[in-house]
Chains A and B, each alone.
Chain A
């Protein structure tokens, strides 16, 4: 059985020195128990305690980082099979493949597109993560110059080649950026391991089937490389779902160390079309990939994939919030309806969907309810008359609408009287209780 925070606390120095970054030893112990902290953060822990805590404290899937700086990608450290059990922590890196057989201009253009691509989603910037450069030419020099070019984007890289000499040349051009070396296999593992160590780069391991993979992992770890990424060789829908599930379960449920690493997937290699590739990539996002390498860049496919990743990797324990403020639907004019709701994402979406669907241009105020739904927010005092009044006064909506009619959710009808006191000059209208009744409500709304 896992150790509780209190069990761990007993093994800690109990000095509350705060050097671990937590205010007390107990707080640190609780974080360790939740597998959200590393024991190594405590400088004073005894060897004896370390041994006792090792099992409880080591994350079952190793955290692997590629790239440096702002855009580095961290994957792994997952602790659950289903997001509802806690959360998925580190979204998989979405990488786009370029080949050293393409013209340098082409490579550069693609690299730029990937690096610059950014799409806004509920106030968040969603971006692709990096590039996978493939040594398709078989030439070390072509590979090296392609890598040199794309390195300038500052994006994390995956270097794809089975040839250690080509890999060495590429690594020489990308030193200091911790690219992922793809891949060590049965033939080249010794040389690749050597390169990984020398360049302090994580190493992908490719084998067909779990047992050969485990065997190879053992060899590479024996050679002293610990930052690994696994490619079990599957490419198809069912094949990948089953294999990735096996690996995740082994790592989490059996604490099976040889498979306790992030996985890499190449959906394009199992697909007949870019659409099919994207669907398979979607599966990898939900089911356990650490890196997903796409064959091509297409915003119409990238946007849904990035959105899916964002959705799957939100923390179900914390309400997702949208940015408070004014949201416009259609092209609202000063005498369009004005509604207010909370910034709990699901509340926002239900309202937004219906307002959008109604086709009636409208203003929607989103109050900062700290991610609570309408009723919860009301009960907790995060969506009360005071908060609503503040939202109206501080967002500048008073300059945008010519009328003074604010529609509040039916569920908080009880606030209407208080609100009229808080917002002199405003008429408070009580809207429907359910978002689904909004279109009908908006149809009869009059300024």
Chain B
């Protein structure tokens, strides 16, 4: 006589906080629709023991000028749209983005310094070109980030844009700008559970409500330290489900940026033969980095190549479907 199989069901006490990006006209913005993240009461895709309210979402990263340093594969994939952020946003939406992430550059296309005025006009154009909720990340230099993101916050007032990235060494101005104009922020820390938690606390202490805060524990690409990001995300999610309130933010990660920095994705020539076909490998590098992180608990993944986006979207659909 066979033993009766009792499926172990974990009782979790915590829940990931729901965070809504974007605002429609009724809500004070101009987005065609909003995107809500989080809400889960169990580990990724385990329908049988909890509630899964919102599937993971894909943000496609666009830049305010043609990113010359990007892999030729990416430049080719977005050909025709890459010189114009508005056209690019539109195309990204067509290619399956749930969200648009606009990254600002230090210099404009003419090589002149980016200014609050230029950035405002770019943001305005992108907002008009797409109805998707927007995330805007600065160029990654403290002074410039603060200068430009304050302008973005002002220009996009009411749109519930995610401003990023807040880091331990620089978050106060970005958070203040988000507070002033009703936006959200991305809280990024270098692959460490306690640091992730700490920055959430610090940002929250400034008065930003937790439902306007995404947690970005950062990650490495496949082959470049993904295991750290992966485990930190699993740990953060477990802590959240165990009831640790300061880890209950939806998780955002940027596998696209990480993967496309890797030589495996970026370069086609002068690489070892066992690496196989360049384009196929490159897309798989981004795709597999992304899906591994989704299964570790990512709620938003920021990606770059439209074909990877298609593959990841399919995978999410199947993971989301009970028995799929």
Contact = CB atoms under 8 A, between A and B. Distances in A.
Nearest to A219: B2
A211 B5 contact: yes
A209 to B, nearest CB: 9
A311 B222 CA distance: 8
A242 B324 CA distance: 10
Interface range for B: 35 or more
A175 interface: no
Contacts of B140: 436
Given A239-B324, A258-B2, A359 B288 contact: no
A84 B231 contact: yes
A282 B292 contact: yes
Contacts of B262: 353
Given A246-B7, A279-B287, A298-B280, A307 B223 contact: yes
A279 B45 contact: no
Nearest to B258: A353
A299 B274 contact: yes
Contacts of B263: 356
The winner among A117, A121, A258, A311 for most chain B CB atoms within 10 A is: A311
Interface string B267-295: 00000111111101101110110011001
B131 to A, nearest CB: 29
Contacts, number: 174
Interface in B117-147: 140
B172 to A, nearest CB: 19
Contacts of A287: 295
B222 A308 contact: yes
A218 B275 CA distance: 44
Interface string B287-309: 11001100110000000000000
B12 interface: no
B3 A256 contact: yes
B152 to A, nearest CB: 22
B5 A236 contact: no
A310 B262 CA distance: 16
B230 A312 contact: yes
Given A279-B288, A287-B295, A303-B281, A316 B323 contact: no
Nearest to A239: B323
A353 B260 CA distance: 10
B284 A214 contact: no
Interface in A268-300: 275-276, 278-280, 282-283, 286-287, 298-300
Contact of A82 (B231, B272, B314, B321): B231
Interface string A305-322: 101101110101000000
B227 A314 contact: yes
A301 B324 CA distance: 23
A259 B5 CA distance: 10
B181 interface: no
A236 B324 CA distance: 5
Interface string A85-129: 000000000000000000000000000000001111100000000
Q: Which of B231, B238, B276 gathers the greatest number of chain A CB atoms within 10 Å?
A: B276
B168 to A, nearest CB: 11
B315 interface: yes
A241 B223 contact: no
A19 interface: no
B48 A242 contact: yes
Contacts of B8: 246, 249-250, 253-254
Given A84-B234, A237-B318, A283-B295, A301 B225 contact: no
